[in-house]
Structure 1
Amino acid sequence: MRTSICLIAGLMAMSVVGCKTDAAAKRAEDMDKGTGFHTQAASPSAPNASAPAVGLDPASLGDVTGTIRFTGKAPAPVKIDTSMDPACGLSGGPDAMSEQYVVKDGKLANVYLYVKSGPAEAMNAPHDVKASVVLDQKGCVYTPHVIAVAAGGFVEFRNEDATMHNIHTMPTVVGNETVDVSQGPRGAVQTKQFKAPEAMIPVRCNNHPWMNAFVNVSATPFFAVSDGAGHFEIHGLPAGEYVLGAVHEKMGEQTMQVTVKAGGSTHADFAFAAAK
């Protein structure tokens, strides 16, 4: 699924500021060290997109589309050994591979994009707080690897496996509750609310130490996650000046200043680089 933001076709000035690491990346690194695996999940396909904001005049809105590029040599994906639980191989899916860096033709997937600052009309835009996003467990991996919801939204945790899982979220922002709950084989859906804006909340399974995913919570209804081709879209932004954030689980956050014009569409690219 592709995601989107509205902006103007001629960006006169874009400034990109890179942060080598942040709290989310550090937490992910610590999790990796504890398990001996790279951060994993299921599929490089596009995760979720933001729902349209409600109550805004369509004539006053714009879009932003872009690509997340990756320069340098990406670490090779690692095959995950799930043999400790024979039920993990019963889903019939492909071999589980790490998804710390999902790069294809120089394009980077699983980057969370959101509005850090912008006009009051955007920052206070109403949205459907009942909206939910699915985080599935299949073949003993979480899929999608990275998801996002607007603050107040819900995540539906599902288990398609014939084995017991344990959903364990690790937020650091007050307002987001730590979840630590078992989910039986093909058990009932567990629906949890995320109330406070926060990037890259780790999710793991205490029963299967290689299982990792990330939940992102946006302050506004304007957000995206880059798909398998590194593409993102954010639609329906009120006209004005914005700062966008782009967050990767291991490479931290970059920011970009953009201008959105009513009825316009702007292409905005971010670039992440391999560690030297």
Structure 2
Amino acid sequence: MTSPVRAIAITALATISLGLLIGCGGGASATPTVTYKAGGESTDSGGGPVIQIDGIGTLSGTIKLVGTAPPPSVIVAKGTAKRDTTVCGAEAAIIDQSLQIGEGNGIANVFIYIDKAPPGAAIPTAPSEPAVFDQKGCVFLPHAMVVRSSQTVLIKSQDNAGHNTHTFPGRSRGFNGAIKALERDGVPIVYNKHERTPFPVKCDMHSWMQAFHLALDHPWGTTTKSDGSFELTGLPATELTLRVWHEKAGGKGGFLQRSLKVTIPKDGSKTENLEFKLSDFGL
């Protein structure tokens, strides 16, 4: 008679910050309980052999550009927008956000995440607190954002002009709808499925407006801040494979690293600093 599978419960302090500024991303804070089965048994869902886990840890680091950063590119000069000129670029020029280089050559808006949660993990429910996706001056805020699949996203606007937000997820049903001027309650949308890669969000009324979202069925994903820094907490203390993705990788968007192997220490921290050249972005 087969003995019952022994379960080890670990309380993981997994906090993925919701950024409301350009360069910050992530979902709402969460403190999930993560369960791992011991002894190499298969999961009930058929996810393959269960890895051995002994605690949790933190991964942090920076992602930087090697070389001279290109100057910011203006995509709409101040006062030259073809529509909604009193709102779009009225106070300042609109800058291309596709490759933002900050202090110390840090690269903003890089997605770093686990594609699939470790086998055997009991994934906590998505945060009840909605993520907020805003618009100001005909620019999306934040530019890059990680949310949980099934978590509500509220689309808001600080602009006294209408927008039409259009999402392009790979697996979930996309949203294509009008956002009224000064929409502060927020139009709710939900990405119901886990996405393997980030996907674009656009405004059909203002062609230069673009952002990227990533919906995950677990809490282990984030984006780099304006200085290129990132942090993932509550990670299983084992060897993990992460993905590093940017919208300009290879010049057209994709992985800077598809399989970044890291070993997370129990009750400790792992630092992973990455550097990329202009050629990695097709420049």
User: TM-score, normalising length from structure 2?
Assistant: 0.74
Gaps in structure 1 of 5+ consecutive residues: 6-41
Alignment counterpart, residue 263 of structure 1, candidates 247, 267, 275: 267
Alignment counterpart, residue 140 of structure 2, candidates 142, 163, 168: 142
Q: Shift of the alpha carbon at 1:49?
A: 5.0
Tell me whether 1:195 sits opposite 2:204 in the alignment.
no
Q: Shift of the alpha carbon at 1:89?
A: 4.5
Backbone CA RMSD of aligned residues: 2.5
> In the superposition, relative to structure 1, how do residues 170 and 183 fare at CA in structure 2: closer, same or farther (>3 Å)?
same
Gaps in structure 2 of 5+ consecutive residues: 1-13, 36-53
Tell me whether 1:51 sits opposite 2:29 in the alignment.
yes
Quick check: which has more Rg, 1 or 2? 2
| Aligned partners of 2:166 and 2:202 also within 8 Å | yes
Deviations, residues 180-221 of structure 1 (Å, cap 9, x unaligned): 101111135111101222222111111111110111112311
Identity of aligned residues (%): 28
Higher strand share goes to which structure?
A: 1
User: TM-score, normalising length from structure 1?
Assistant: 0.76
| Aligned partners of 1:4 and 1:224 also within 8 Å | no
Counterpart position of 1:230: 228
> In the superposition, relative to structure 1, how do residues 60 and 91 fare at CA in structure 2: closer, same or farther (>3 Å)?
farther
> In the superposition, relative to structure 1, how do residues 197 and 75 fare at CA in structure 2: closer, same or farther (>3 Å)?
farther
Counterpart position of 1:241: 239
Counterpart amino acid of residue 64 in structure 1: L
Helix, strand or coil at the partner of 1:103:
coil
Counterpart amino acid of residue 272 in structure 2: A
Tell me whether 1:186 sits opposite 2:182 in the alignment.
yes
> In the superposition, relative to structure 1, how do residues 107 and 68 fare at CA in structure 2: closer, same or farther (>3 Å)?
same
Counterpart position of 2:212: 214
Deviations, residues 109-157 of structure 1 (Å, cap 9, x unaligned): 10111112453244x4213343422111100110110001122222211
Deviations, residues 218-259 of structure 1 (Å, cap 9, x unaligned): 231111110011000000112212001111011021131111
| Aligned partners of 1:116 and 1:242 also within 8 Å | no
| Aligned partners of 2:149 and 2:194 also within 8 Å | yes
Q: Distance in 1 between matches of 2:108 and 2:150?
A: 25
Counterpart position of 2:163: 165
Q: Distance in 1 between matches of 2:187 and 2:61?
A: 34
Higher RCO, Cα 8 Å, sep 6+:
1
Higher helix share goes to which structure?
A: 1
Q: Distance in 1 between matches of 2:15 and 2:108?
A: 14
Q: Distance in 1 between matches of 2:178 and 2:69?
A: 35
Q: Distance in 2 between matches of 1:52 and 1:63?
A: 15
Alignment counterpart, residue 80 of structure 1, candidates 63, 75, 84: 75
Counterpart position of 2:149: 151
Q: Distance in 1 between matches of 2:245 and 2:28?
A: 16
Count of matched residue pairs: 233
Counterpart position of 1:107: 106
